[in-house]
Amino acid sequence: MKRIGVLTGGGDCPGLNAVIRAVTKSAIHDHGLEVMGIEDGFLGLIEERVRPLSFADVSNILAQGGTVLGTSNKANPSRYCTGYDHAGNPIFEDVSDRVMESVARFALDALVCIGGDGTMSAAAPFIARGVKVMGVPKTIDNDVMHTELTFGFDTAVGTATEALDRIRTTAASHHRVMLVEMMGRNAGWLTLHAGLAGGADVILIPEIPFDLDAVCEACDHRRAEGKSFTLVAVSEGCMPIGGGVVIDRVVHEAFDAIRLGGVSEVLCEQIAERTRLECRATILGHVQRGGTPSAFDRVLATRFGVRAVDMLMSGQFNRMVTYVDGRLSSVRIEEVADQQRLVPVDDPLVHAARAVGARFCGVGL
């Protein structure tokens, strides 16, 4: 092993630069490797945009949000949009051969792929073609299978919690029902953690479809008890019992075309109409993905990056680094691809939230 490539794929999150730094520094310093930075995820291999990374290139980026390499959530080589037909529909082609040509051209002995389930799914076919791959799990959604934590999640929970803290004070001043919508796709981890940390009165997550009457009753009940406001933590992927998610847009070229968003605004109208309470909705959006990583995420990202290089050097390929029971471990990339880790309904956090009075407003919860 002489030269490795590193890429960041999918939506960005705080801590990506900490992994790039850890991979580059440990590869050069501990193992005498050369490191090549691949720009914009797999797009860089499709378009031959690959550049050397030195110590200087990764110096001073530990605390920086985003990714110095850039990223893309539309560049799956097996299903890559190469243009549009006359009706405006995307035309997909398999451009995996271009990736294989880049791997050969830049003499990459292995690829470190930092990403979520989409990036692992995009990487998996190259393992079958003989490319050595190491995965590092990222995402604010914390929904990658077989790892209890992804880096970026802790920072996003902090950001969302701070938002809840801020909205709490204005909620109290105006005696309002305040809905705060958080990201997470179809997984409720971010909303559950932030809802608990921010003391939300109602927590709505995709894994527990809600009963609108129960949500309204929770708001009315608090008012009747003399509580002047209600804080509702809303996951972008939550849905009413028997209903569906609210879709913000469809990004046809992407791995995962559906973009969720807007459920809090729908709920805001419905709750106001039924309870006659004054309601407001705030969608936190991409603010949850930006900013400097928390100390925890910097440590986790650094540990993940160093472990990925150590594993490559000890001949353990085609695995993704994981965090289980407080320790680093790993899993075959194929076991992670195309999967999502959801909140179990009997998760201890659901129990803890209910024990301190939060309502999920689902059947039996």
Q: Is 119 in the site for ligand F6P (CB under 6 A)?
A: no
CA distances from 46 to 69, 72, 240 (A): 15, 12, 42
Smallest separation (angstroms) from ligand F6P to the CB of 265: 16
Window of 28-36, 89-97, 179-187, 341-349 that interacts with ligand F6P by CB under 6 A? 179-187
* Closest CB to ligand F6P among residues 201, 236: 236
Strands 258-260 vs 247-250: parallel, antiparallel or unpaired: antiparallel
140 touches ligand F6P (CB under 6 A): yes
The CA radius of gyration of the chain, in Å to the nearest whole number, is 22
57: tokens are: 């290139």
Q: Which of 138, 289, 298, 319 binds ligand F6P (CB under 6 A)?
A: 289
Binding string, 11-40, against ligand F6P, x = CB under 6 A?
Answer: x-----------------------------
Is residue 184 within 8 A of residue 340, CB to CB? The reply is: no
Strand, coil or helix: what is 42?
helix
Answer yes or no whether residue 184 interacts with ligand F6P by CB under 6 A: yes
Q: Which two tokens stand for residue 261?
A: 């968003």
Pick the catalytic residue from 141, 143, 154, 297: 141
User: Which two tokens mark 279?
Assistant: 């309601």
Closest CA to 200 of 227, 173, 239: 227
The smaller minimum CB distance to ligand F6P, of residues 199 and 285, is found at 285
In the complex, what is the shortest distance from the CB of residue 105 to ligand F6P, in angstroms, rounded to a whole number?
A: 30
Contact flag: residue 293 with ligand F6P (CB under 6 A): no
- Interface residues for ligand F6P in 41-80 (CB under 6 A)? 73
Only segment of 166-174, 180-188, 239-247, 324-332 that touches ligand F6P (CB under 6 A): 180-188
Q: How far is the CB of 187 from ligand F6P (least distance, A)?
A: 8
Shortest distance in whole angstroms from residue 4 CB to ligand F6P = 26
Of 264, 184, 258, the closest CA to residue 13 belongs to: 184
* 112, 122, 183, 263: which one binds ligand F6P (CB under 6 A): 183
Minimum gap (Å) between residue 149 Cβ and ligand F6P: 15
Which residue from 27, 18, 75, 71 is spatially nearest to 53, judged by alpha carbons?
A: 27
Looking up tokens 């969608």, which residue turns up?
A: 283
Helices (H), 175-205: 189-197
Q: Are 364 and 209 in contact, with CB atoms under 8 Å apart?
A: no
Nearer to ligand F6P, 40 or 141 (CB): 141
Judged by CB under 6 A, does residue 260 bind ligand F6P?
yes
From residue 18, how far is each of 99, 205, 293, 354 by CA, in Å? 25, 30, 9, 36
Q: 């290089």: which residue's tokens?
A: 309
- Would residue 346 show up in a list of annotated catalytic residues for this protein? no
Per rule CB under 6 A, count of chain residues that contact ligand F6P: 12
Known catalytic residues are 141
Which residue ranges make up the site for ligand F6P (CB under 6 A)? 11, 73, 139-141, 183-185, 236, 259-260, 289
